[in-house]
């Protein structure tokens, strides 16, 4: 990089003990261009080799003599020591280099009088983080640390520019935030990192910058720590305009599929609710009606089955783009795995970073989901947003807010989007696990009296909402009537069979080796709630979704009365050892809340 032609900036780093100023400065040395930045080495009346920063050691007498000789730009005292910054730093600034100096908050006003280009960088962290770090050092007692943190800090002079960097997560993320703040301020960020650093530093990347950013992520041009910091920034603050920019940028990464019909519909669920194979009922209903609905779905991540896992019990789901297109053109629909389609590479990169950090990426997901629908050629999309206190979306209010976001972003992409908040406090259907969930789906499509009523009702709701988008249907009420007719006549089941045959019918699974064991109520009472995430965990312990036959078969529903010793559900697995582990987990916590 070329050195600045204008005088450089003086970055004065301040912050409380425990904020990690020295660590961030040390880490920045590897990332900031050496020809543009210089690191001020403080003169301290502390012996050489003492713990802490690399400093120039001198005696008190030597320091005072140098101070009298005006060798310091500024000098101050703290903790019984003298500190000074060399006056030669002015020459570095005049040459265009940027100075990074660790200093005292109390010296800012004095420094501002000498350095017009002064920028204060305040390194901060929440009080509890500072407390933990200082106590871990072992230099002070917890009470003394608490008193230190309780001290009021001096206000910054109003005329001084202040940049704040929060260092509350990993050191790597803190360093990226620090570097981003500096490089963005002096416009020295590398092109491949410009948009990432802009966002990390609190700015808002433009449409074109987000386009370059998405391309760079796909091409693995960013470091993992930079992406961590970027995603955390997105979690804390992602404006509507940015979500739209991300959605548009993602939509341009792959060509949009063209279909012969002017109306192409899709249904998507935010997921997180065990069972709930609504999609596998809705798709054949819509296909039987005559609308195109190319459905691609994911495999399970934390649940006992994803739509692709369940469909794989019946048919091949690992379709190429050509196979998917052929299936849709012949049957009006598909239910395929999205691993080879759309933006799966981008999502794999992002998910690998977001899941370990436990980040709330719902806003990012809106852009991800809708861009996939757009590139799949969809024109109309219905979204299911289940909410539960233990799920991705915690409350009805959160779900409704997210629904509005889906609709607004969809409109900007030229899509008709209808999103609905639904209660996800209990599993939908009786089966939890691929084969058991397929059983529930087939019972609904076969119009069986044994079909789970909740799965039927939710499927009819979403089918009617999609069908209402068709002008020939006209209303949700007419859509529900049409959906029910297609179920009752067997047309929807026939549509599913056509899809299965075109994708590649799987051979029947052998249930003869499946072992089952009942989990019983320990006390009598009313089932107030079924914790679907506990049940899903038991099913996964039994082997689902890898073992398609493993899972949990619910025998009792919320609201029912049970007696002590009465069976609540069956746990099943192909592997006796996995079954034993699942039963052990169920005995520790059945997931049923009875009182």
Please give the order of strands across the beta sheet that includes 416-423.
Answer: 265-269, 380-387, 416-423
pLDDT for res 340: 63
Q: Which of these ranges, 32-46, 60-74, 357-371, 435-449, has the smallest mean pLDDT?
A: 357-371
Q: Which of these ranges, 25-34, 298-307, 477-486, 557-566, has the smallest mean pLDDT?
A: 298-307
For residue 131, is pLDDT > 90? no
Binding residues for ATP: 15-22
Give me the mean pLDDT over the 473-502 stretch: 97
pLDDT for res 179: 95
For residue 554, is pLDDT > 70? yes
Band the pLDDT of 128: cuts 50, 70, 90.
Answer: confident
Band the pLDDT of 589: cuts 50, 70, 90.
Answer: very high
Give me the mean pLDDT over the 100-116 stretch: 91
Cα–Cα distance, 43 to 469 (Å, whole number): 73
Query: Do the beta carbons of residue 230 and residue 199 sit within 8 Å?
Result: yes
For residue 79, is pLDDT > 90? no
- Cα–Cα distance list, 476 to 279, 332, 399, 466 (Å): 18, 21, 21, 8
Query: Do the beta carbons of residue 263 and residue 379 sit within 8 Å?
Result: yes
**Residue range 8-47, pLDDT digits in tens:** 999 999 998 888 998 999 999 999 999 999 999 999 999 8
Cα–Cα distance, 140 to 124 (Å, whole number): 20
Query: Do the beta carbons of residue 83 and residue 43 sit within 8 Å?
Result: yes
Cα–Cα distance, 405 to 410 (Å, whole number): 8
Using alpha carbons only, give the angle 219, 223, 229 rounded to the nearest 5 degrees: 115
Tokens 């050496």 belong to which residue? Answer: 34
Q: Which of 487, 276, 241 is nearest to 386 (CA)?
A: 276
Per DSSP (E only), the strands in 218-292 are 265-269
**Residue range 56-72, pLDDT digits in tens:** 999 999 999 999 999 99
Cα–Cα distance, 310 to 437 (Å, whole number): 7
pLDDT for res 62: 96
Give me the mean pLDDT over the 151-155 stretch: 76
Residue 464 tokens read as 């009617």
In this structure, what DSSP letter does residue 106 have?
Answer: G
Q: φ, ψ for residue 547 (rounded to 5)?
A: -85, 105
pLDDT for res 453: 95
pLDDT for res 6: 55
Q: Which of 41, 151, 55, 54 is nearest to 101 (CA)?
A: 41
pLDDT for res 214: 85
pLDDT for res 354: 63
Percent of the chain with pLDDT over 70: 94
Q: DSSP letters of 529-583?
A: EE-HHHHHHHHHHTTTTTSTT-EEEE---TT-EE-TT-EEEEEEESSHHHHHHHH
pLDDT for res 129: 85
pLDDT for res 2: 40
Complete domains list, the chain, with CATH: 10-188 (3.40.50.300), 265-503 (3.40.1030.10), 511-594 (3.90.1170.30)
Mean pLDDT value across the chain:
90
Band the pLDDT of 357: cuts 50, 70, 90.
Answer: low
Cα–Cα distance, 318 to 341 (Å, whole number): 10
Cα–Cα distance, 198 to 591 (Å, whole number): 45
Cα–Cα distance, 380 to 267 (Å, whole number): 9
Tokens 């060798």 belong to which residue? Answer: 71
Q: Which of 294, 431, 317 is nearest to 375 (CA)?
A: 294
For residue 509, is pLDDT > 80? no
In this structure, what DSSP letter does residue 527 have?
Answer: E
Give me the mean pLDDT over the 122-130 stretch: 89
Checking phi first, is residue 554 left (phi over 0); if not, alpha (psi -120 to 50) or beta?
beta
Checking phi first, is residue 225 left (phi over 0); if not, alpha (psi -120 to 50) or beta?
alpha
pLDDT for res 353: 61
Query: Do the beta carbons of residue 178 and residue 24 sit within 8 Å?
Result: yes
Binding residues: 15-22
Give me the mean pLDDT over the 370-389 stretch: 92
| Dihedral, 127, 132, 133, 136 alpha carbons, nearest 10 | 160
pLDDT for res 355: 64
SS3 content of the chain, % helix, strand, coil (to 5): 45, 20, 35
Q: Which of 281, 279, 246, 267 is nearest to 378 (CA)?
A: 267
Band the pLDDT of 3: cuts 50, 70, 90.
Answer: very low
**Residue range 287-318, pLDDT digits in tens:** 999 999 999 988 887 789 999 999 999 999 99
The H or E element that residue 179 is part of is helix 171-185
C-alpha R_g of the chain: 30
What is the crossing angle of helices 576-588 and 532-541, to 10°? 150
Give me the mean pLDDT over the 414-425 stretch: 94
């Amino acid at each position: 990089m070329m050195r600045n032609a204008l005088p450089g900036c003086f970055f004065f780093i301040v912050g409380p003990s425990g904020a990690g100023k020295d660590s961030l400065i040390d880490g920045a040395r590897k990332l900031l261009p050496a020809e543009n930045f210089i690191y001020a080495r403080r003169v301290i009346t502390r012996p050489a080799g003492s713990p802490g920063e690399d400093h120039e050691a001198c005696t008190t007498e030597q320091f005072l003599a140098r101070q009298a000789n005006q060798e310091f730009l500024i000098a101050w005292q703290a903790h019984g020591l003298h500190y000074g910054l060399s006056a030669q730093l002015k020459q570095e600034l005049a040459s265009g280099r940027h100075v990074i100096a660790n200093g005292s908050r109390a010296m800012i006003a004095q420094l501002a009088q000498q350095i017009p280009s002064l920028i204060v960088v305040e390194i901060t962290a929440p009080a509890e983080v500072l407390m933990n770090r200082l106590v871990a050092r072992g230099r002070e007692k917890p009470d003394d640390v608490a008193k230190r943190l309780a001290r009021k800090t001096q206000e910054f002079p109003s005329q001084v520019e202040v940049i704040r960097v929060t260092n509350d997560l990993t050191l790597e993320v803190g360093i990226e935030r620090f570097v981003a703040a500096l490089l963005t301020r002096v416009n020295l960020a590398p092109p491949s990192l410009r948009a990432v650093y802009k966002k990390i530093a609190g700015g808002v990347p433009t449409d074109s910058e987000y386009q370059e950013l998405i391309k760079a992520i796909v091409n693995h041009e960013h470091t993992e720590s930079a992406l961590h910091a970027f995603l955390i920034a997105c979690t804390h603050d992602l404006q509507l305009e940015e979500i739209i920019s991300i959605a548009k940028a993602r939509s341009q990464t792959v060509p949009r599929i063209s279909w012969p019909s002017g109306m192409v519909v899709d249904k998507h669920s935010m997921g997180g609710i065990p069972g709930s194979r609504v999609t596998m009922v809705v798709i054949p209903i819509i296909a039987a009606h005559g609308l195109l609905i190319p459905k691609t779905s994911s495999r399970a991540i934390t649940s006992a089955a994803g739509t692709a896992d369940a469909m794989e019990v019946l048919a091949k789901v690992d379709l190429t783009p050509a196979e998917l297109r052929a299936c849709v053109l012949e049957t009006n629909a598909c239910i395929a795995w999205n691993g080879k389609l759309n933006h799966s590479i981008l999502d794999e990169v992002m998910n690998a970073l977001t899941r370990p950090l436990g980040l709330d990426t719902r806003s990012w997901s809106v852009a991800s989901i809708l861009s996939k629908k757009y590139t799949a050629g969809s024109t109309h999309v219905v979204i299911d947003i289940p909410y539960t206190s233990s799920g991705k979306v915690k409350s009805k209010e959160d779900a409704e807010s997210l629904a509005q976001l889906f609709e607004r972003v969809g409109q900007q992409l030229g899509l008709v989007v209808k999103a609905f908040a639904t209660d996800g406090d209990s599993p939908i259907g009786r089966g939890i696990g691929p084969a058991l969930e397929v059983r529930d789906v087939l019972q609904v499509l076969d119009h069986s009296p044994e079909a789970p009523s909740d799965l039927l009702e939710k499927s009819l709701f979403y089918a009617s909402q999609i069908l209402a988008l068709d002008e020939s249907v006209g209303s949700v009420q007419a859509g529900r009537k049409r959906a029910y007719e297609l179920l009752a006549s067997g047309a929807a089941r026939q549509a599913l069979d056509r899809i299965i045959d075109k994708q590649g019918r799987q051979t029947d699974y052998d249930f003869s080796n499946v072992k089952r064991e009942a989990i019983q109520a320990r006390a009598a009472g009313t089932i107030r709630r079924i914790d679907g995430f506990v049940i899903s965990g038991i099913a996964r312990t039994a082997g689902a979704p890898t073992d398609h036959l493993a899972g949990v078969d619910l025998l009792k529903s919320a609201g029912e009365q049970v007696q002590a010793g009465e069976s609540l559900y069956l746990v099943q697995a192909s592997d006796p050892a996995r079954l034993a582990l699942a039963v052990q987990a169920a005995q520790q916590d059945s997931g049923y809340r009875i009182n």
